[in-house]
Homo-oligomer: A and B are copies of this chain.
Amino acid sequence: MIEDKNQQRTQLSDLGEFGLINHLTEHFEIKQSSTLKGVGDDAAVLKFENKKVVVTTDLLLEGVHFDLSYVPLKHLGYKAVVVNLSDVCAMNAQASQITVSIAVSNRFPLEALEDLYAGIQTAAKIYNVDLIGGDTTSSTTGLLISVTAIGEVEDEEVVYRDGARPNDLLVVSGDLGGAYMGLQVLEREKEVFKVNPNNQPDLEPYTYIVERQLKPEARKDIVQLLKDLKVKPTAMIDISDGLSSEIMHLCKASDVGCDLYEEKIPLDPQVISTCEEFNIDSTTIALNGGEDYELLMTISQDDYPKIKANPNLTVIGYMKASNEGMHLVTRADTRIPLKAQGWKNFND
């Protein structure tokens, strides 16, 4: 489906470990004042002047988290960084550094890793983070990427999951369900391609949702927006597993309940039309789809005037006492207990 136009193949063994790391990272620049020493010693050396430091890490595995038959390596590198930066944003922090480790089998030529690192570098540039370390090793099967992201935040600005209080507003950035529906489109095209490799897929009607899947963004802009609006959320989390699961995390950590209004859930028109095409309920997709990397937060009602006119933020419900439970209030005005579909990898 994704045609490999790069015919050149350089064996990884031609470079050796240090040659490989140097080759892949030589064009990365150090820009953060907090980075004193990046790649090239036993460890990177950082200095954060009187700020809190946040640290998060994620593993991405071929065959589990991505399928290289329709994910270009450059996009994969970009996404591997972004999903970690999204966690940094969820702490209301600014990302500053990343480490990237990869395990890769011999079937990948050097040119494939160059594509992967081109995506990593693009993300590092756009999000203004320094690549400060990593490890490169061979794998007996497939590709694995492990990213650790580091960020900084003023002492009083850090936002946890556990600060939501009854009557706080539940607010989400952007729109939901796009990444999951983009994946459905890509999976369908992969099946079509298997049957007829000459068929050229027309992804034009799905541009937005396919991009949401292949090239998600961390909502660094929302962290800045909240700062500009002088709104500090009482709790915040990023939406990696689906709205329902993340709401339940917030409620559990904060010991509160919640009413979520179905009619308020922000959906892009392309998500709605694609859901109709696939005959899937769009609310189910928004609740359980995952990988949208939007920010879900609770804010004090006092802050409502500051956000109400903003197109990037949507109030989708409000928090209640813990004993009132967590519910979806449907368009038909019935109340359904929220369920998290959660993580099913081990059941595959």
**Chain B residues, CB < 8 A from A346:** 11-13, 16-17, 106, 138
| CB closest chain-B residue, reference A141 | B141
Q: For A137, what are the chain B residues with a Cβ–Cβ distance below 8 Å?
A: 59, 61, 64-65, 345
Closest CB of chain B to A157's CB: distance in Å? 11
Chain A residues numbered 228-256 whose CB sits less than 8 Å from any CB in chain B: 236-238, 253
B52, A148: Cβ atoms closer than 8 Å: no
Collect the chain B residues with CB atoms within 8 Å of residue A43's CB. 54-56, 87-88, 90-91, 93, 149, 151
A135 within 8 A of B: yes
Are the C-beta atoms of A48 and B53 separated by less than 8 Å?
yes
The answer to whether B55 and A97 have CB atoms under 8 Å apart is yes
Are A55 and B133 CB-contacts (below 8 A) given A17-B343, A138-B345, A347-B13? Answer: yes
Copies of this chain, complex-wide, total: 2
What 0/1 readout, one digit per residue, does chain A (27-67) give for beta carbons within 8 Å of chain B?
00000000011001111111110111111111101011100
Complex: A160 Cα to B237 Cα, angstroms: 38
- Give 4 new A-B contacts, CB below 8 A, not counting A59-B103, A140-B142: A41-B162, A55-B97, A55-B150, A138-B346
14 chain-A/chain-B pairs, Cβ below 8 angstroms: A42-B56, A42-B161, A43-B87, A43-B151, A44-B56, A45-B91, A46-B54, A57-B101, A57-B134, A59-B103, A59-B135, A61-B103, A61-B138, A101-B146
